[in-house]
Amino acid sequence: MSEQNVAQDLAKLDADRQRIEQIHMRDMFRNDPQRFKKFSLCAGELFLDYSKNRIDEKSLASLFDLARTSGVETLRDQMWSGEHINSTEDRAVMHMALRHQGNDQRIVDGENISAPIRKVLAAMRAYATSLRSGEINGSTGKKITDVVNIGIGGSDLGPAMVVRALSPFVSEIKPHFVSNVDGSDIADTLNGLNPETTLFIVASKTFTTDETMTNANSARKWLSAALGDAAVGDHFVAVSTNLAACASFGIQQDRIFGFWDWVGGRYSVWSAIGLSVMLAIGADHFDDFLIGAAELDQHFLTAPLEQNMPVIMGLLGVWYRNAFDFSTHAVLPYDERLGRFAAYLQQQDMESNGKSVQRDGTSVNYATGPIVWGEPGTNGQHAFYQLIHQGTDVIPVDFLLAAQGEEDYPVHHEKLVANCFAQSEALMLGKTIEQVTEELHGAGVSSEAIKELAPHKVFPGNRPSNTILYKKLTPKTLGSLIALYEHKVFVQGAIWNVNSYDQWGVELGKQLAKALLPKVQGHEAATAHDCSTQGLLQRFQSLR
Ligand code: G6Q
């Protein structure tokens, strides 16, 4: 990566911002009927309309310059060639290799990783196929009908989001997810399940994560109480890089699916962490999911920056975060089954780029990762869209939409589409005081009432949005969508010069929870804390 002074490079965007702020987007559209054509593109099966952004050709050119001077392409190529771009953990970042479709070798630390990737994938396929067909059964010979994935963070959010998104493809086996250490999570999940027909996947890269091991031990107790301890081998599989710990939990050697330290947790749904997905949708659909991601990877690796969808989305995010100081970004799928997509992206984006130091450890003096949030439309329209349209914060939005619904409810889908397009149009156009006044006059409202009411009915407009349109939410499309956002996050991390692949910010809380546990349990005195923490401990003990 080139030597850089990020703040200086970002400051160069200011002249563009000042120029752009002089003109409302509605005028940009009025002045240029080619805007949609100019500012939209395809990548595989995804279509992106980014014309409803506060951009012109000149500001985009500056953004592409920024990508070049920040060394986005160099870092991308370093990642793909297996260099340890995750410097603080001294690791390569090779999740793209998990879905790579070519026969070429991928070398990490002198080893060809393509062969072990294919081996694990084949083992997953063989297991999934036998389990789904009833060739492999539970300890009493009954067919497994329910699978519970026990994992948290990267070992939960990806698979949980994906099986929900692909629910029309789920057959034979019903997937469940337990992540929270809160006992209500496992209790509610086990309630109604039959131990004889339930399989648990303990999904943990390290196999030491407290929440996951606590849940795994409770699940094991539940199963042993019903079927005896000898049944554990038939009802538990593991996904981990810590093979020794899996074996000592009692998991059979051939039911441990491995992965590698060059797969970050939040980038691991493509690895054996996706086993619950494969069990639920079948191996062929899982292959399509990988193929969809690989298609986006090829696009990201080869398309020129100016026609590179994740690069464009990443740059627009930097534009708003740094030149305009907008601090949040909403992802609003008009696709109910993407109900967990925003939660998934929160980890992908905020754990990756929520950083305050550069790669060399020096503090940043510019803003980095935005707050990412969202909910599916149209529900959000009846809730928080008020603020998006008329609040004091400007919130750039991504709308996600399938042209075809999975179900035979055409009227529903047409209404969904109309609402999605209407929102981006409304955000861009807004409504002027003159339009409001005219409308109210037309409705016969008195001049006096109009004076009072009109300001409340004005929409400033000029609010940016992207629209990502695809034919249908299939495994392949979903693979492409996730990869698109992964690369977008990469581009932003490269520009902000942060390490997008570590997550030290999650450690302090874990460390303090460990120290607090004996005090919560009452084994140690509630001392040596600040008076708030101490007071809470005492209050808690008095309420137990
Ligand atoms: C993701 C993080 C984190 C991780 C969980 C679970 O990038 O590393 O979310 O996935 O903490 O870790 P284990 O898989 O090791 O249990």
For residue 204 and ligand 1, the question of a CB distance below 6 A is answered with: yes
For residue 154 and ligand 1, the question of a CB distance below 6 A is answered with: yes
For residue 395, give the 3-state DSSP assignment: coil
State yes or no: pLDDT of 250 exceeds 60: yes
Tens of pLDDT, residue by residue over 145-175, are: 999 999 999 999 999 999 999 999 999 999 9
State yes or no: pLDDT of 314 exceeds 60: yes
- Upstream peptide bond of 378 is cis (omega within 30 degrees of 0): yes
Q: How many CA atoms lie within 13 A of 50 on its CB side?
A: 25
Take residue 48 and report the two structure tokens written for it: 């992106």
> Of 202, 206, 263, which is best to mutate to test ligand 1, by the most ligand atoms within 8 angstroms of its C-beta?
206
What is the pLDDT at residue 402? 98
For the annotated catalytic residues, the residue numbers are 351, 382, 510
Distance CA 69, CA 305 (A): 12
Nearest CA to ligand 1 atom 8: 265
Rounded to the nearest integer, the mean pLDDT of the chain is 97
What is the pLDDT at residue 346? 98
| 74 CA to centre of ligand 1 in angstroms | 28
pLDDT tier at 4, thresholds 50, 70, 90: low
* DSSP category for residue 428: H
| Atom from ligand 1 closest to the CA of residue 206 | 15
For residue 205 and ligand 1, the question of a CB distance below 6 A is answered with: yes
| Atom from ligand 1 closest to the CA of residue 240 | 14
Give 500's contacts (C-beta < 8 A, 6+ positions apart).
352, 353, 355, 489, 490, 492, 493, 494
State yes or no: pLDDT of 1 exceeds 80: no
Range 13-22 average pLDDT = 98
Range 515-522 average pLDDT = 95
Give 360's contacts (C-beta < 8 A, 6+ positions apart).
none
Tens of pLDDT, residue by residue over 181-229, are: 999 999 999 999 999 999 999 999 999 999 999 999 999 999 999 999 9
Tens of pLDDT, residue by residue over 497-506, are: 999 999 999 9
Range 514-529 average pLDDT = 93
Note whether 289 and 476 are within 8 A (CB): yes
Take residue 110 and report the two structure tokens written for it: 């002198």
What is the pLDDT at residue 103? 86
Range 123-142 average pLDDT = 98
Take residue 330 and report the two structure tokens written for it: 């909403």
| 85 CA to centre of ligand 1 in angstroms | 19
CA distances from 12 to 60, 62, 245, 381, 495 (A): 12, 8, 52, 36, 13
What is the pLDDT at residue 405? 95
Tens of pLDDT, residue by residue over 402-449, are: 999 999 999 999 999 999 999 999 999 999 999 999 999 999 999 999
Distance CA 442, CA 436 (A): 10
Pick the closest to residue 312 from 42, 14, 16, 63 (CA basis): 63
pLDDT tier at 258, thresholds 50, 70, 90: very high
For residue 359 and ligand 1, the question of a CB distance below 6 A is answered with: no
Tens of pLDDT, residue by residue over 102-114, are: 888 999 999 999 9
For residue 152 and ligand 1, the question of a CB distance below 6 A is answered with: yes
For residue 206 and ligand 1, the question of a CB distance below 6 A is answered with: yes
| 209 CA to centre of ligand 1 in angstroms | 8
State yes or no: pLDDT of 21 exceeds 90: yes
| 155 CA to centre of ligand 1 in angstroms | 6
Q: How many degrees, rounded to 5, is the angle at CA 137 between CA 135 and CA 138?
A: 175
User: Would you tell me how many other CB atoms lie within 10 Å of the CB of residue 58?
Assistant: 12
State yes or no: pLDDT of 57 exceeds 70: yes
pLDDT tier at 527, thresholds 50, 70, 90: confident
Give 27's contacts (C-beta < 8 A, 6+ positions apart).
none
Tens of pLDDT, residue by residue over 186-197, are: 999 999 999 999
Give 124's contacts (C-beta < 8 A, 6+ positions apart).
257, 272, 274, 275, 278, 283, 286
| Percent residues over pLDDT 90 in the chain | 96
What is the pLDDT at residue 2? 44
Q: Is 44 exposed, middle or buried (0-12, 13-18, 19+ CB in 10 A)?
A: buried
Tens of pLDDT, residue by residue over 369-414, are: 999 999 999 999 999 999 999 999 999 999 999 999 999 999 999 9
Distance CA 279, CA 124 (A): 9
